Amino acid sequence: MSLDGFEEGPVWNEFQWESHLNEIEKRSEQLRRFITSDPKGNTPRWITLLQESMDELDAVEAFIEEELLLDEAYFPDDEDDWEDEDDEWEDDDFFFQDDPFSDYDDELDEDNDDFDYGEEWKELSEDFTLSDYGSIENLDVYREARAFAVDVLRWAESIPTHLQTKQVHEFIINVLKITAKLAGGYSFGFEQDVLGGNIAYTKKALYSGNDALSYLQKMKREPFIVPGIYSKFHSRLFEIRNDIGIYVQELRDRFNYGLE
């Protein structure tokens, strides 16, 4: 996300960010209807994504990317600030400022062969996941939500067209939104001035999880979902929703700690 316009002034909390993001979502929906090949929404987006993608995982990632790009269009972007930053830093130095491993550079150079990079990163990944040095691929709840979305799309492909009710479509789109909102929140980073935005976005993943559970429960007795599939979906989604709730609280604790 481009957040240059929010770098100065008082730090926004999650509720101020949430109000702003709600307005962005309204504008994003208008933009989506304008640019889509199906402006009236006759074909559910998840079906179009599957038709345009190589496989279900590709479709999930395409949805995430599309959601982030649509939201990005409505964030302020001060190009002059970016130009100033480009002038200030050399390309080779940009990504290594405040490197957490800088103190170990000499030791690594002396005995590179004895240092097990893979194991060391495994040990540090939990600490670094919730930092600007981390990767969302190390965020357990994101990986679980994405894997669940892939399995839901595989299941949905087997549903005959005449049985694809509104409840089915709403369930699937909310499952996809979980991953997109988690990714959107993570893209804000974990610095104090943007952490409220991270929390607000992640709460939207929680809301989508709740909505998906509600639609799933309404489909419980439909002929296109057998009890075994329903039970597995409900169990996994319930756990993902709860994990997101815990993650939101962890982010809140971090934000509040930074205000002390």
Quote the tokens at residue 258: 């930074």
pLDDT of residue 99: 44
What secondary structure letter does DSSP report for 5? G
Question: Which residue ranges in the chain fall short of pLDDT 70?
Answer: 1-9, 30-41, 73-127, 260
pLDDT of residue 72: 78
What secondary structure letter does DSSP report for 8? S
Cα of 171 vs its chain's centroid, Å: 18
Strand, coil or helix: 189? coil
pLDDT per position as a tens digit, 205-246:
999 999 999 999 999 999 999 999 999 999 999 999 999 999
Q: Which helix (H) or strand (E) holds 69?
A: helix 56-72
Question: Which residue pairs from 160-163 have beta carbons closer than 8 angstroms and sit at least 24 positions apart in sequence?
Answer: 160/224, 163/222, 163/223, 163/224
Alpha carbons 1 and 13: distance in angstroms, whole number: 17
pLDDT of residue 38: 55
Number of Cβ within a 10 Å radius of residue 40? 7
pLDDT of residue 253: 94
Alpha carbons 156 and 154: distance in angstroms, whole number: 6
pLDDT of residue 215: 97
pLDDT of residue 227: 95
Quote the tokens at residue 260: 């002390």
List the end-to-end C-alpha distance of the chain, in Å, as a whole number.
Answer: 27
pLDDT of residue 170: 95
pLDDT of residue 189: 92
pLDDT of residue 178: 98
Contact 244, 206 (CB under 8 A): yes
